[in-house]
Structure formats: structure tokens, C-alpha cells
Amino acid sequence: MSTEDREAQEDELLALASIYPEDEFKRAETTQGGEIRICLELPSDFRIFVSGSAAANLKNNDFEDSVCFLPPIMLNFELPPDYPSFSPPMFTLSCKWLSVIQLTALCKQLDNLWDENQGCVVLFAWIQFLKEETLEYLHIVSPFELKIYGQGKQNCKSLIPRKEDVDSCGESDAAEGEALDERAIQDVESLSSLIRQILDFDQAQQEKRFNSKLYLCNICFSEKLGRECMHFKECQHVYCSACLKDYFEIQIKEGQVHCLNCPEPKCTSVATPAQVKELVGEQLFSRYDRLLLQSSLDLMADVVYCPRPSCETPVMQEPGCSMGMCSRCHYAFCTLCKMTYHGVSPCKITADKLVALRDEYLEADEVNKRFLEKRYGKKMIQKVLEEMESKDWIAKNSKLCPRCATPIQKTDGCNKMTCTGCMQYFCWICLSCLSKGNPYYHYSDPSSICFNQLFQVINDDDDDDELENED
């Protein structure tokens, strides 16, 4: 190796190390060479797809997605002793998403660039060509179809495989061509593996780009790096992790697991479970996960809960059957009244439960009304509504006997009433029990608040007010 060649190689390698970061250029330790990772700048909304015969081995038979980044083109090189005076760099060119034919075309162009610059260092020119001109040189536009050599038609117009290779890989766009270059390597096993690696790389690069940028949090109004922030997948709104952590923790502690949405006004984007777990920690996430599951089960018409407070295990309800059998504590219960299973006997529902069910049904929309009818039975709902309407009417139009609490309705006549249950005389106005011997004395006694009001008609709504005024 001449002194000039050695100095030229050292200068070139040092220049590359100063221009490109360590994750893009790595110099070999034992030889004059290295590895260069070249990531292409893709147009916005660049789409990749797999279809036709090439997709036959995929589970979904078709695939299409938008990506911002594709895995790099890898240029591995070694500088011979007489480079750059006489010999070009020895190299291999590998890529996961470019076919062997496309890589062969790029290898040929790198050779052409050496021929044009023989006697001068050429690595930087090679890198610039691969980085800036690959898409245009190979006529790659969106949507771009992913191919693996041997799985259908290739996209490169400048080369075709040898005749013996055409039989195994299918048609080619050109009529004549050259042999595949041994330096061209498509470093992937299968289409499914290729798709997975592309999507994983794209996600990692997008996360890397996000972490390095500054974002303004509209909660605390501070600018922070992306690694201190979180963005919602659907809307892409960004807030700092500290503010979202406080917001999510409050919502989870209050049981509002469906309210972990983007704080932006009128935005409906929701945080993913993975994002929630990252922010709030294991303990609160366990509560969030449990409440989320419970709320999902609550919306299922065929799922009820064991009524025992110490159990509360979800139980699948058989269609048309009102018996539930808990798989955990083996308690048999009625799915309507949640009491011990009582067979064909009618449910004994407490007054509080009747009121709660009536209110829930009347306030529900059509979807939830159908859900309640399916869960409790339409006849049961109708019965509850009728019973509660009857009780409301009785409460509004009757008074209770002061002795036995039997509801009594007054249609006409005097204010001396006789209970149909216990036969007790009482006053309709003040609800006092009257003497059996002389019940009318109550209305002739000047000291009585009902003096001379035996036939007095009093507005029931004003009874209490009038009695208080007389007191």
C-alpha cells in the first residue's frame, strides 16, 4: 500500500466518522472498512402493499399500510491496499425491502460512479447516491409493492435475472438483461417476516423522532421533549406525561375508566391500555383493568354477577332461564331479584329496587331500554312500571290511617274518616285518631285545630302549611 493511498483512506474514513453518527456509520476494527446504514427520506403518506400471488402465504391474503420510515440499505465495504489509486472498494449491498434485482441495479450504478471517479475516493458519492437518488433511480413510487426474489414479478426496469432464474421467479419487465450481482443481498426470510420488520422499524423510528422534538403541553403550558410527553394515537395531540398522569389517576380513583380521553376540547381520542399502564403504575392500572372489564361485562345482557358481596363473580346467564349458578361459590340465585333461586314463584323485589329499576328504565335511551328488557324481561319491566305508577297514584291521592297505615282515599263527604282495615275513626285534615263514642266532638271543640271544619274542603298540598300557621 502506498503512502498516498493509506493517507487517502484514513482521511476518508475519518471524514465519514465526523459526518455520520455512530448509528449510521460504524468503522471496522481490524480492516480498512466499515458499515454504512442509509435510511431513505420517503414522501408523505408513503404506502406499501402486498397482493396477488405474493400474498398467498399471508393469513389475510392482502396487506396495505402507510409508513414514514423503511429499514436502511446496508453498505458493507472494505478498502483494498491500492484504493483509490487503482481498485474500487469491495462491497456488499443488502436491504430487506428491495428485491435482489433492484439491489443488483444499485450495485451496477455504484460501479459506474467508480468508473467516473477512478483515482479519487468514492464512498461519500456512493452514500449520497443511495440516500438521495435510490427511489427515483428504481422508479419507486407510492404505493410500493413488496416483493421477494422468487415470488412473482419484480419492479426494476434496468435488469432481469438469468434465464435459469426466470423459471423460478416468474416474468420480468425487460426483454434482455444481465445476471444478478452476488453483492446484492435481500436480507429477509419471508413476506410475513418482512412486513413485521418494516412495521417494527417504522414504529421505532417514529418514537425516536417524537422523543427528540419539543412539544407545548396545553395543560401546564410548558415546552418539553417528546420523551417526557405522550401523544394520543388517533388525534396526535400531545401533552406532558406529568399532567396526564395526574389526570388519569384522578379518573381511575373515581372509577371513571371510560374517561381517559384526550384533554383537548371536543376530542374523542382515548388512551390505549399500554399508555395508561406506563403513566399510572401497576397498582392503579390493576384497578383500571378490573373496572374496564367489569363495565364491559355490565353491557353484556347474558352476564350477571353473583349477589354475594364476598364473591361478585361474573356468571353467564342461560337464555330464557332466570337461575344463575356461580362457578366460584356455587350459589344458585335468581338473576332478576338476586335472591336465592325460588323457581317459578314470583320475585320479591324491595321497594328501593323497584324505584331504582323504574328510574333507570325511564331515563335510558332506546338501546339501554332494550338491554334492560332483555336482562329483566319485558313483562317484568312492565309490571314494575305499573306497580310504581299505582304506588305513585296512591301516595298522591290517599292518606295513611294513623293506626294501621292503610291507604285511605277520600272521594266526598265529611272529614271524619273510617279506616277500612282496622275500623279506626280519624280526621282527614290532621290525621288524629277520633273517639269511638263521639268522633264528631273533635270538630265542635273550640280548642281543636279542626274546629267547625267537619265539611271543610282543604287543598291537600296546603294542609301542612295551614296546620303550621295555626300552631
The pairing of strands 416-418 and 223-225 is: unpaired
**CB 96, CB 188: distance < 8 Å:** yes
Cβ-defined contacts of 318-323 (< 8 Å, 24+): none
3-state class of 190 per DSSP? Answer: coil
List the grid coordinates of 216. 407545548
**CB 269, CB 262: distance < 8 Å:** yes
Q: Which residue has the cell 502506498?
A: 2
Is 414 catalytic? The answer is yes
* Sign, CA torsion 277/281/282/288: negative
Considering only CA atoms, which of 54, 53, 49 is closest in space to residue 195?
49
3-state class of 215 per DSSP? Answer: strand
Q: How many CA atoms lie within 13 A of 255 on its CB side?
A: 2
From CA 13, how far away is CA 7, in angstroms rounded? 10
Q: Which of 414, 419, 430, 433 is catalytic?
A: 414
3-state class of 133 per DSSP? Answer: helix
Q: How many angstroms separate the Cα of 107 from the Cα of each of 85, 95, 115, 306? A: 20, 12, 13, 70
**CB 415, CB 427: distance < 8 Å:** yes
3-state class of 357 per DSSP? Answer: helix
The set of catalytic residues is: 414
